[in-house]
């Protein structure tokens, strides 16, 4: 895809991977639709980007948000060429003490909300005959470590849907990818008693900008090349 002037929708865009990807795609000349819950942060990021940006604050569990995001891209820019389905949260813990309500809310965000946007995006992209859907999975979308089963389960679900949609998209001009980050310098694990980087003795985490470059790499491949999944992790992360 030639990225100059193309349009990307990015969820979870107010920090971390979403923000890092927004900055990289803006540098590539793409126009952006950014969404997250914090409007003031979205607007601040938009002002810093040297491209056309539309923002829409909202909670991904809002059933109507996926349609509004696609509609905003079409109304503002006349196109929607990429959907980066990135918003998510992480709750882990032992069965004896995990917060059940927080766990179930995670499932709503990581599975239900991701599935809704993925399906809405696919309907739009297939109808127009081109585009890219990228769903954020995790290194834990293919394996489990102790106390992470609920979170890993949500990412296994993302992997399954992404692979199905990839097969459904064959011959339509649409490509579908699962992004599988390892440990990234974000706020996702800030609430953990001990950060995984300390448990795993990782000296340098992947940065959001690194993920942004990977997303750009995926999008810039020629039409005959598909990247169904891409794992990005710190060089010294063992699992």
Cα 154 to the chain's mean position, in Å?
Answer: 13
Q: What are phi and psi of 206, to 5 degrees?
A: -60, 140
The DSSP annotation for the chain comes to ---TT-EEEEESTTSHHHHHHHHHHHHTT-EEEEEES-HHHHHHHHHHSSS-EEEEE--TT-TTHHHHHHHHHHHHHS---EEEE---------TTT--HHHHHHHHIIIIIIHHHHHHHHHHHHHHHT-EEEEEE--GGGS---TT-HHHHHHHHHHHHHHHHHHHHTTTTTEEEEEEEE-SBSSSTTTTSSS-HHHHTT-SSPBPHHHHHHHHHHHHTS-TT----EEEE--TT---
Residue of 77, 84, 151, 156 with catalytic role: 151
Residue 156 annotated among the catalytic residues of the structure: no
What amino acid positions are annotated as catalytic residues? 151
């Amino acid at each position: 895809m030639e990225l100059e002037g193309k349009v990307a929708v990015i969820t979870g865009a107010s920090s971390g991977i979403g923000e890092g990807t927004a900055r990289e795609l803006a540098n590539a000349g793409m126009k952006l639709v950014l969404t997250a819950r914090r409007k003031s942060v979205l607007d601040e990021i938009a002002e810093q980007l040297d491209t056309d940006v539309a923002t829409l604050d909202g909670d991904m569990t809002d059933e109507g948000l996926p349609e509004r995001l696609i509609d905003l891209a079409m109304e503002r820019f006349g196109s929607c060429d990429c959907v980066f389905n990135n918003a998510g949260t992480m709750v882990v813990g032992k069965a004896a003490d995990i917060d059940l309500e927080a766990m179930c809310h995670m499932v709503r965000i990581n599975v239900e909300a991701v599935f809704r946007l993925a399906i809405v995006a696919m309907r739009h992209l297939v109808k127009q005959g081109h585009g890219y859907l990228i769903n954020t999975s995790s290194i834990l979308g293919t394996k489990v470590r102790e106390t992470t089963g609920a979170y890993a389960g949500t990412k296994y679900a993302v992997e399954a849907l992404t692979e199905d949609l990839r097969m459904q998209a064959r011959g339509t001009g649409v490509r579908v990818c699962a992004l599988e980050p390892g440990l990234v310098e974000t706020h996702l694990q800030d609430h953990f008693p001990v950060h995984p980087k300390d448990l795993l003795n990782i000296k340098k985490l992947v940065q959001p900008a690194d993920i942004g470059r990977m997303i750009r790499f995926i999008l810039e491949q020629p039409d005959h090349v598909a990247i169904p999944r891409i794992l990005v992790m710190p060089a010294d992360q063992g699992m």
